[in-house]
Amino acid sequence: MAKWPARPSISAPGSSRHLRARNGLSGSGEIRSAVACSRVLNRAELPVDTAQLARFLIGKMVVRMLAEGVAAGRIVETEAYDIGDPAGHAYRGMTPRNRTLFLERGHAYVYLAYGISFMLNVSSETSGVGAGVLIRAIEPTDGISIMERNRGTERVRDLARGPGRLCAALGIDRRLDGIDLCRTGPLWLGSDGQASGEIGQGKRIGITRASESLLRFYVRGNWFVSGPRALNI
Find out whether 147 and 138 touch, Cβ atoms under 8 Å.
Answer: no
Alpha carbons within 13 A on the beta-carbon side of 94: 9
Strand partners, 119: 111
pLDDT at 32: 59
Rg of the chain over Cα atoms, rounded to whole angstroms, equals 17
pLDDT at 33: 82
Give pLDDT tens digits along the chain (233 positions): 333 333 333 333 444 454 554 444 434 344 458 898 899 999 999 999 999 999 999 999 999 999 999 999 999 999 999 999 999 999 999 999 999 999 999 999 999 998 999 999 999 999 999 999 999 999 999 999 999 999 999 999 999 999 999 999 999 999 999 999 999 999 999 999 998 899 999 999 988 898 889 999 999 999 999 987 777 76
* Single pTM value for the model: 0.86
Residues 6+ apart with CB under 8 A from 127: 102, 103, 104
Q: How far is CA 142 from the centre of its chain?
A: 14
Q: How far is CA 24 from the centre of its chain?
A: 21
Find out whether 127 and 102 touch, Cβ atoms under 8 Å.
Answer: yes
Find out whether 74 and 59 touch, Cβ atoms under 8 Å.
Answer: yes
- C-alpha separations of 186 from 41, 83, 139, 162 in Å: 14, 28, 19, 21
DSSP 46: S
